[in-house]
Amino acid sequence: MIKFLFSPVLLLILMLSPSFATPIRIKDLVEFDGVRGNDLVGYGLVVGLNGTGDGIRNAPFTEEIMSNILERLGVNITGEQFRPKNVAAVLVTANLPPFARTGSRIDVTVSAIGDAKSLLGGTLIMTPLNAADGQIYAVSQGTVIAGGVSAEGDAASVVQGVPTAGVIPSGAYVEREIEFDFGALSQIRLALRIPDFTTANRIEQAINKSFGRRVALMLDSGTVQLDIGATRQSSAAHAISKIENVLVEPQSKARVVVDQRSGTIVLGEDVRISRVAVS
């Protein structure tokens, strides 16, 4: 009986007692200045849909895109009226990773912009992807893997997930590289994903300890500067590869998360409860 009475109390103590923070790799805490991806976007057509595409009356731009594509292929469509339900206009987005080389492949996301009901089973026609500077950096084409399914009957319809959006794994070829001379850097800044003075100071100390001399300097709560020359490494890439896996214990903030729907309250390890009266 005593064991039964004390078990809930022991469980509550274990839940509210502070736990030791787990050290995290520096590469998971920061972004390296200049080493980032670039967003790409384009618009095109998904064909081969089983009657789940755009209604031309509700999405006239679908007809315009289709006309332009057919004209580029040498098909004369003057005076023709399209009524296909197996075509959908889409926006295509992708992220060009840092140091992506010409000929490499990247994943793309496809999203319907008309009134298409589903992209399931469709194929994206060759679509150029532009960056913010207006230049084409990749070209996408391939079969869309939809994020859901939809079905209709005489009296009801069922939709699971989001069938009007999907992905094409490795669906775009990189046609242009982002010019960035990483090897010429003499200094590089580490931008903390969650700015914090304590964490930034710990990163500085951990890096300096790893090299055995002062090579890093905390500039503010969100930035630590690394002197590439002081690291005595053969290149900036070698210096970064050495500090990426250095472990640092980040400073965590007290946090309380309340889920009103389920009535659940989750307390972070740094939350302290003052004296209260419960009635």
Q: Do 94 and 208 share a domain, yes or no?
A: no
pLDDT for 91: 94
Q: Do 31 and 45 share a domain, yes or no?
A: no
Contact 66, 82 (CB under 8 A): yes
Report d(CA 173, CA 128) in Å as an integer: 10
Closest CA to 51 of 143, 118, 125: 118
Range of the domain at 220: 22-35+182-248
Phi-psi region of 121 (alpha: psi -120 to 50; beta: other; left: phi over 0): left
Report d(CA 104, CA 81) in Å as an integer: 39
How many domains does the structure of the chain reveal?
2
Q: What is the CB-side half-sphere exposure of residue 207 using CA atoms within 13 A?
A: 29
Q: Do 110 and 222 share a domain, yes or no?
A: no
Q: Do 59 and 89 share a domain, yes or no?
A: yes
pLDDT for 107: 96
Q: Do 120 and 193 share a domain, yes or no?
A: no
Q: Which residues contact 58 (CB under 8 A, 6 or more apart)?
A: 114, 115
pLDDT for 39: 95
The C-alpha angle 52, 55, 56, rounded to 5 degrees, equals 140
User: Position of tokens 């002197």?
Assistant: 227
Q: What are phi and psi of 94, to 5 degrees?
A: -160, 165
Q: Do 117 and 79 share a domain, yes or no?
A: yes
Which of 174, 190, 212 terminates a domain? The answer is 174
The DSSP code sequence of the chain is: -HHHHHHHHHHHHHHHS--PPPPEEGGGTEEETT---EEEEEEEEEE--SS-S--TTT-HHHHHHHHHHHHHTT---TT-----SSEEEEEEEEEE-TTPPTT-EEEEEEEE-SS-S--TT-EEEEEEEE-TTS-EEEEEEEE-EEEEEEEE-SS-EEEEEEEEEEEEEEEEEE-SPPP--GGG-SEEEEEESS--HHHHHHHHHHHHHHHTS--EEEEETTEEEEEHHHHT-SSHHHHHHHHTT-EE-PPPPP-EEEETTTTEEEE-TT---------
Q: Do 157 and 193 share a domain, yes or no?
A: no
Report d(CA 210, CA 190) in Å as an integer: 16
243 found inside a domain: yes
Q: Do 169 and 66 share a domain, yes or no?
A: yes
- Residue 202, H or E segment: helix 197-211
* pLDDT tens, residue order, the chain (279 aa): 444 444 454 444 444 444 446 889 999 999 988 788 899 999 999 998 888 888 766 666 777 777 777 777 777 765 455 666 888 889 999 999 988 999 999 999 999 988 888 898 899 999 999 999 999 999 999 999 987 666 665 555 666 678 899 999 999 999 998 887 777 788 999 999 999 999 999 999 999 999 999 999 999 999 999 999 899 988 888 899 999 999 999 887 767 788 776 778 887 666 677 777 766
Name the token pair of 31: 């972004």
Report d(CA 262, CA 231) in Å as an integer: 52
Q: Do 125 and 235 share a domain, yes or no?
A: no
257 found inside a domain: no
